[in-house]
A and B are shown apart, each in its own frame.
Chain A
Amino acid sequence: GAGVSQTPSNKVTEKGKYVELRCDPISGHTALYWYRQSLGQGPEFLIYFQGTGAADDSGLPNDRFFAVRPEGSVSTLKIQRTERGDSAVYLCASSLRQSGGGYQETQYFGPGTRLLVL
C-alpha cells in the first residue's frame, strides 16, 4: 500500500510568516509522529498523536508550534511567526496501534518537508 506522504516537499517562506505542513499516514495507522531534522543531526521528536489526541507534545520547542489531527488520520503541523532557526526538514512517521504486549511498534517515515525560512 501507499507509504506516509507529506506535502509540500519544499517550502520557502519569509521570517514572520505562518506555514502549515501536512502529513498523510499509512492507512490504518493510528499513531502519528512529527520530528524535525536539522542538517547533520538525527530526527528530533516534536509530538506524538494516538488517534486524534496529542499523547505527548513535549518536543514542541515553543508555543509558535502546534499540530492537529482532527479526524485521526491526516495531521497538520502549524508554525506561526517563523524564524530562521526553524529551517529544517520536518519528518512525519506513523505506526500501527500499540500491540497488546506493550512493545513499541515500528515507525515508518515520510519523505519530509524541507522548510527554509529566509
Chain B
Amino acid sequence: GENVEQHPSTLSVQEGDSAVIKCTYSDSASNYFPWYKQELGKRPQLIIDIRSNVGEKKDQRIAVTLNKTAKHFSLHITETQPEDSAVYFCAASRGGGYQKVTFGTGTKLQVIP
C-alpha cells in the first residue's frame, strides 16, 4: 500500500520567513495530493491540493510543488504569520475509484513573532 513520509516533524521560523515542508510517497499510481492544517484540538482543514497533471499550484502565501518522477511534493508558506502555527499534514491518494487517502505523520510549525 501507499506510504507517505513527511519532514521535518517540527519546524520553527521567525514571523515573515518562509517555511517548507516536504513529503515523499511510494505508490506511483497516486495522483492527488492534499495538504491539511490542524490546529490544536480542531479538525483537519484542507488548505491546498494538487493533482498529478500539474507541477505547481499557488494560493496567496501558500504553494505546493509536485515531482512525480521523484515521488516528492512540498508545501511552501511565504511571509509566515503567527496564525500559521499549527500541525500540517500531507496526504496522497490514487483518486479515481480508489478513494483511500494516506496521510503523513505531520509537521508542527511554530511561527515566532
Contact = CB atoms under 8 A, between A and B. Distances in A.
Interface of A: 4, 31, 33, 35, 40-45, 48, 50, 55-56, 58-59, 91, 95, 98, 102-104, 106-112
A4 B43 CA distance: 10
30 contacts: A33-B101, A35-B103, A41-B105, A42-B89, A42-B91, A43-B89, A43-B103, A45-B100, A45-B102, A55-B99, A58-B100, A59-B100, A91-B43, A91-B44, A95-B99, A98-B97, A98-B99, A103-B32, A103-B95, A103-B96, A104-B94, A104-B99, A106-B46, A107-B34, A107-B101, A108-B46, A109-B36, A109-B44, A109-B45, A110-B43
Contacts of A45: 100-103
B103 A42 contact: yes
Contacts of A104: 31-32, 34, 93-96, 99, 101
Contacts of A108: 46
B44 A106 contact: no
Contacts, number: 72
Residues of A contacting B: mostly:
loop
Nearest to A42: B103
B104 to A, nearest CB: 6
B70 to A, nearest CB: 21
B43 A111 contact: yes
Interface in B13-37: 31-32, 34, 36
A25 B1 CA distance: 27
Interface in B53-69: none
A44 B101 CA distance: 9
A69 B95 CA distance: 22
B99 A111 contact: no
Chain A CB within 10 A, most for which of B99, B100, B102: B99
Nearest to B32: A104
A48 B44 contact: no
Contacts of B94: 104
B69 to A, nearest CB: 20
Contacts of B43: 4, 91, 109-112
